[in-house]
Structure 1
Amino acid sequence: MADGSFINVVIPPSSISGPSLTIRRFARRAFTLEQLVRLDTMSLHMADFLRLCINARLNIVICGISGSGKTTLLNALASTIDEQERIVTVEETAELQLHQRHLVRLEVTPPNDTRPGRVAKVDLLRHAMHMRPTRIIVGECVGNEALTFVQAMNIGFEGSLATMYANSPRDALARLEALCLSAAPVLSPLAVRQQLATGIDMILYCARLRDGTRRILCATDISGMEGDAIGAHDLFVFREAGLDMATGRIRGEFTATGLRPSFASRIDESSNNPAYFPRGA
């Protein structure tokens, strides 16, 4: 639709109970990290830490199921990127609401009467790599573009961001491995894992809880290879503490595990606060 909303229509005989119309609308103004803190999506310390991670140009993957707030978080993180950086976004359907000066937005183009071929996301991502971007942002890695994105992170495109469907950080790594192997069957699983381990710095796992709230359940450091497996260690976790019967909301707290991230030195180098890493949340 003109305002960016998605519309889905199903009519009989496929819809047995009659025509079904679903409209998915988005907020007119994207949420900031500060607003997500007020909504309890994350703690203030987490927001400060994530802002430093963006400034340190970490490669971050945001995962979760549909409706868990992945794109909302991606937009909030990407909005903190410096105005002077050249950002190229690649999306199936343009959803991100970024306003930096040097922004290039690419969107998958379906075939039509005058253009029989489809411009796929992987094609746009390859073009993006030739646009001299300082940041590449991919909305939903679901196909062959996953391999191209992983390769981009491994050849110097630092500060890249992407979202994908997964039920945990470990599941995200497994799904990315499967997508990469599907795109290039000649690669070995170990070779793909090594690229994932060196390309991705951190995975954020979002979820929509049973009370309807959206939270970052964990921020996971991808620390490299540990034998034949990828090292993944939680830096922040959300710990539930029961249900508030008065409000119907899930109680809990965001807790820093106390582990020093493998990328701590990069944060120290890019930060005005050397040796920064929050010990509590």
Structure 2
Amino acid sequence: MSTGHKGSLSTGHSDSPEDMLRRLETMVLMGMEIPLAAIQRQIASAIDIVIHIGRLRDKSRKVLQVVEVLGYRNKKIETQVLYEFRENPEKKERITGEWKQIHDLIHKAKLFSAGY
């Protein structure tokens, strides 16, 4: 992902944003022997946002969380939840809900450099 070009988009399959980061670590370890700390630093510098989409009980898919990758500290990749889907009581077997902002985006420099 850190190819020197601005912007990139990719998909992966996991049960949570944190699980996706661990799966990325595992994929790199399957291909070469690099210290885990080096892999984690590269992942933390390459990924800014993780968007978690899940399938719910009613078989619908919804964006469940938007998570910011803060960096590599204390031997782990640190994240924070920016937005989270909060489920309302079911209506006619269909799941509804609303977005709840949990934290503000910390790393805004890339957005500003892109004109946002």
**Equivalent in 197, 212, 226 of residue 44 of structure 2:** 197
Question: Could you tell me the TM-score, scaled by structure 1's length?
Answer: 0.39
Q: Is this contact kept in 1: 2:68–2:105, CA < 8 A?
A: no
User: What runs of 5+ residues in structure 2 fail to find an aligned partner?
Assistant: none
2:12 paired residue number: 164
- Deviation of the 1:258 alpha carbon: 3.3
**Equivalent in 252, 256, 259 of residue 97 of structure 2:** 252
1:271 paired residue number: 115
- What does residue range 150-161 of structure 1 map to in structure 2 within 5 Å? 153-161=1-9
- Deviation of the 1:236 alpha carbon: 1.0
CA deviation digits over 1:55-114, x for unaligned, max 9? Answer: xxxxxxxxxxxxxxxxxxxxxxxxxxxxxxxxxxxxxxxxxxxxxxxxxxxxxxxxxxxx
- Deviation of the 1:248 alpha carbon: 1.5
- Is the radius of gyration larger for structure 1 or structure 2? 1
Amino acid at match of 2:21: L
- Deviation of the 1:154 alpha carbon: 2.7
What's the Cα RMSD here? 1.4
Question: What secondary structure does 2:19 align onto?
Answer: helix
- What does residue range 98-117 of structure 1 map to in structure 2 within 5 Å? none
1:175 paired residue number: 23
* Identity rate, percent: 30
After TM superposition, which residue ranges in structure 1, 4 or more long, deviate above 3 angstroms? none
- Deviation of the 1:259 alpha carbon: 1.9
User: What runs of 5+ residues in structure 1 fail to find an aligned partner?
Assistant: 1-152, 273-281
Amino acid at match of 2:106: P
Q: Is this contact kept in 2: 1:181–1:187, CA < 8 A?
A: yes
Q: How many residues align?
A: 116
Q: Is this contact kept in 2: 1:221–1:235, CA < 8 A?
A: yes
